[in-house]
Structure 1
């Protein structure tokens, strides 16, 4: 179970650390070619989503790695599930149905990570 958690959590952490970091540091104009939805969302909200993604990535790795409050890994994974539910709503409302497969995969992986993180409860 632990090996499976580290594989899933590691992949999610890499994805969210990069994706969230990009949302935090790049301008709206730089984000628009790869994330068309930023034109309809206020930039402070885009930055907040980025910060939440980075914190989720950290929360998946640090608590179980250090042994300090490892239950936070479950909370981080659930938070990332909520981020993906929001992403599915945004993409669906914009008619971007071909992008939903990635959101679905990330949603399932985050849910699996939440389940596997119960190892430390």
Structure 2
């Protein structure tokens, strides 16, 4: 189970890192034009998009480093729970725009994050 939780956290962290880098460093207009589900970007401010990118970068760190370094490892399931909430917001946003394929993709990410949160809170918490 520990290995499955590490793999799930690593997949989410890679996703968060990639998404966070693009939202933080690529101009909003260019990101909206290049992104297939980028319609939501037209309705968001630059500050919101950048803040969301920074939150995703922090999630990438929070899903891996606390457990790997054994420094505040309780932050891994807390971060995963926050990712669940972020995916609920993403699902609502994409649902309002009729982007149901992206809603389903966000649901997969939500399930993965819920698995990490549940696993690290209950099934196999970090020893400490």
TM-score range, shorter chain: over 0.9
Give the TM-score taking structure 2 as reference length. Answer: 0.90
Q: Deviations over 1:3-45 (max 9, x none)?
A: 1111100111001100111000000111102022100011111
SS of equivalent residue, structure 1 residue 102: helix
Give the TM-score taking structure 1 as reference length. Answer: 0.95
SS of equivalent residue, structure 1 residue 69: coil
The corresponding residue for 1:11 is: 11
The corresponding residue for 1:117 is: 120
Alignment equivalent of 1:82, drawn from 81, 85, 95: 85
Instruction: Give structure 2 stretches of 5+ with no counterpart.
Output: none
SS of equivalent residue, structure 2 residue 72: coil
Instruction: Give structure 1 stretches of 5+ with no counterpart.
Output: none
Q: Deviations over 1:69-115 (max 9, x none)?
A: 10000111011111100001111111211221110100100100111
Give 1:13-28 correspondences, 5 Å limit: 13-28=13-28
Cα distance in 2 for partners of 1:24, 1:117 equals 29
How many aligned positions are there? 121
The corresponding residue for 2:100 is: 97
SS of equivalent residue, structure 2 residue 21: helix
Cα distance in 2 for partners of 1:9, 1:40 equals 30
The corresponding residue for 1:44 is: 47
Cα distance in 2 for partners of 1:53, 1:28 equals 16
Cα distance in 2 for partners of 1:79, 1:48 equals 15
Alignment equivalent of 1:66, drawn from 63, 69, 75: 69
Deviation for aligned residue 1:116: 1.7
